[in-house]
Amino acid sequence: MTKITSLADLRRIKSDVEVKMNLRERSESPESMVQIRVAMATCGIASGAKIVMDYLVNELDKRNIPAVVTQTGCMGYCYAEPTIEVTRPGQQPIVFGYVDSKKADQIIEKYIKNGELLEGIIPVNYENIEGK
């Protein structure tokens, strides 16, 4: 018989995550997390933003990079969707356009891990998404 995921599985995951969180709290502060916001308005969704968000959530976890990936509304760069805003700890946010899984991989390896800039950055003409 096929096993069906249940809340008992969630309780096991919770215990596992709590152990990892305790280890992390001893070595890193919450401010050390990379913050990523994926623009998820009609333009972004139709261009593949959901695939990009799935990829980022999975890959950052696999590569043990502490990060929070969330959705946001339209940033106004519909021509360059999917767009994501990446904030490295202690740095100003940078918006990348035309992001697909390949580009997201480069952003993780080059910018998030090493701070190297790469093609596809949308010039900053706003302070943040809400303030635009």
Residue 3's identity, in one-letter code, is K
Q: Which is nearer to another protein, 26 or 119 (by Cβ)?
A: 26
**Binding flags for another protein, 76-115, as an x/- string (CB under 8 A):** x-x-------------------------------------
Rounded Cα gap, residues 127 and 10, in angstroms = 39
For residue 51, the number of C-alpha atoms closer than 13 Å in the C-beta half-sphere is: 12
Site string for another protein, 8-37 (x = CB under 8 A): -xxx-xx-xxx--x----------------
Query: Residue 83 in contact with residue 122, Cβ under 8 Å?
Result: yes
Q: Out of 24, 35, 50, 88, name the contact with another protein by CB under 8 A.
A: 50
Contact 48, 80 (CB under 8 A): no
Distance CA 51, CA 82 (A): 10
11 vs 104: CA distance, rounded Å: 31
Instruction: Name which position in 42, 89, 113, 118 contacts another protein (CB under 8 A).
Output: 42
We find the least distance from the C-beta atom of residue 123 to another protein, in angstroms, to be: 16
Positions touching another protein (CB under 8 A) are 2-7, 9-11, 13-14, 16-18, 21, 40-43, 45-46, 50, 53-54, 57-58, 60-61, 68-71, 73-76, 78, 132
